[in-house]
A and B are shown apart, each in its own frame.
Chain A
Amino acid sequence: MPELKTRIREFRAKTGMTQGELADRVDVRRETIIRLEKGLYNPSLKLAMDIAAVFGTTVEMLFSFSGDSAE
């Protein structure tokens, strides 16, 4: 089964945003952001789009499945 990979940490580092700040911006708990970054959680489409909107990027740039050509 393909594994979900995220670039949230990379985007956070670029924008200097903490996990807590990102969690507040998209109205989730910090634990949710941590699990997302560790690839332990598949977000809903709404959450994925909200996070992409915070970083001014697209869902495809933030999330990918291992083995995708976009990686």
Chain B
Amino acid sequence: MKQPIQKLSYRRLYFRHALVGLFMAAIWGGYYALDKLTEGSRILIRFLAFALMIAAVFVTMTFFLVNAARRDREDELARENIAKTNSGFIRFLAFAGFVLFMVCTCFVGKPQKITVEIHYAWIASVIYLFFAVYYFIAMYYEAKTEAQCAGEEQDDA
């Protein structure tokens, strides 16, 4: 008889999703580094570097999908926590935008000695970092829910 799939708590699920975000950000950062290191190298070496990145992405996304399939039922409490997460993430984005704006205004009118290269790999890396932040925020709210349910370990009648 087939064993039922072991359900994951939302806290663990969101933690794993956040890890996926961090891994993907690291993969894109690593891809940028590999791209720079193999610049001018033979096409075989560049192909191997690209294949390594694809393999890493495949493994990470498989991990993501397997965990997503094991999530617990999405009930109204989960949706309430998702709404709180969305609100928290929007506040984070506003704060990040404000910080970026303040940093940029520090360089207005001053001679620039530092150049910033905006590479597509860095953009992808930042997007995945935001993905990780979103799920860390979600994990925080689910951890609060679990803490409120502490002391009820046994399924009592």
Interface residues in chain A, defined as those with a beta carbon under 8 Å from any beta carbon in chain B = 12-13, 16-20, 27-32, 34-35, 38, 40-41, 43-44, 47
Contact = CB atoms under 8 A, between A and B. Distances in A.
Interface stretch (B18-26, B29-37, B74-82, B109-117): B74-82
Interface stretch (B61-69, B97-105, B141-149): B141-149
Interface in B117-157: 145-146, 148-149, 152, 155-157
A34 B75 contact: no
Given A19-B155, A35-B77, 14 more contacts: A13-B157, A18-B156, A19-B152, A27-B73, A28-B73, A28-B76, A29-B75, A31-B77, A34-B148, A34-B149, A35-B149, A41-B77, A43-B76, A44-B76
A64 B148 CA distance: 21
Nearest to B150: A34
Q: Chain B CB within 10 Å — which of A18, A20, A27, A28 has the most?
A: A28
Contacts of B157: 12-13, 16-18
Contacts of B148: 34-35, 38, 40
B76 A47 contact: yes
Interface of B: 72-73, 75-78, 145-146, 148-149, 152, 155-157
Interface secondary structure of B, over-half rule: loop
Contact of B76 (A16, A20, A32, A34): A32
A68 B73 CA distance: 34
B73 A34 contact: no
A54 to B, nearest CB: 14
A28 B152 contact: no
Shortest Cβ-Cβ A-B pairs, 5 listed: A28-B75, A34-B149, A32-B77, A18-B155, A20-B155
Contacts of A27: 73, 75
Nearest to A28: B75
Q: Chain B CB within 10 Å — which of A13, A19, A20, A40 has the most?
A: A19
Contacts of A30: 149, 155
B73 A31 contact: no
B5 to A, nearest CB: 15
